[in-house]
Amino acid sequence: MYQFAPDPGQPKAELYEDLAKAAATLVAGERDPVANMANLSALLWQFVPQLNWAGFYRMVDGELVLGPFQGKPACIRIPLDRGVCGAAAASGTTQLVEDVHAFPGHIACDAASRSELVVPVIRDGQVLAVIDLDSPEPARFDGEDAAGIERLAALIAPLL
């Protein structure tokens, strides 16, 4: 049984270091991508404060398809020309959005979301999925959050 206990008062750099260690423990030896994404979604939900959604969208036949997540029900399919997730997948770059309502083409799966961080999971130059974090807090995410989730994306990439 896994027991991870993030310290809500620790600096972000330490939080993301602990998240990476916990994630490595969870995925060690497991090759099933859905199982890994499911556990990592739960881990993100547990470790990262002020979220209302945390999970994955998988690249399937040229569009993003909902994967394992924590939070309210979500949009099932996202074309690459729509929303923050689509922008991250199409460009292969992290999208850090302080105000989702100001983002052109934003898809409002949950009207409570105010800011978003989306990090592509890339292997051999191909986007396999995106990690999507939403928050009801405006400007919730910063460069430290992006770096921490990019590290997680690199960790999971070989296992998808």
- Cα–Cα distance between 143 and 146 in angstroms, integer? 5
Strands 53-60, 63-71: pairing is antiparallel
pLDDT value of position 114? 86
- Cα–Cα distance between 157 and 48 in angstroms, integer? 20
Does the pTM of the predicted model rise above 0.75? yes
Tens digit of each residue's pLDDT (9 = 90 or more) over 134-156: 999 999 999 999 999 999 999 99
Taken in order of first residue, the domains within the chain and their CATH numbers are 12-159 (3.30.450.40)
Long-range contacts for 122-128 (Cβ within 8 Å, ≥24 apart)? 122/92, 122/153, 122/157, 123/157, 123/158, 123/160, 126/59, 127/59, 127/89, 127/92, 128/58, 128/59, 128/157, 128/160
Is the model's pLDDT at 108 over the cut of 90?
no
Lowest mean per-residue pLDDT among 23-37, 55-69, 107-121, 125-139: 107-121
**% of the chain residues with pLDDT over 70:** 96
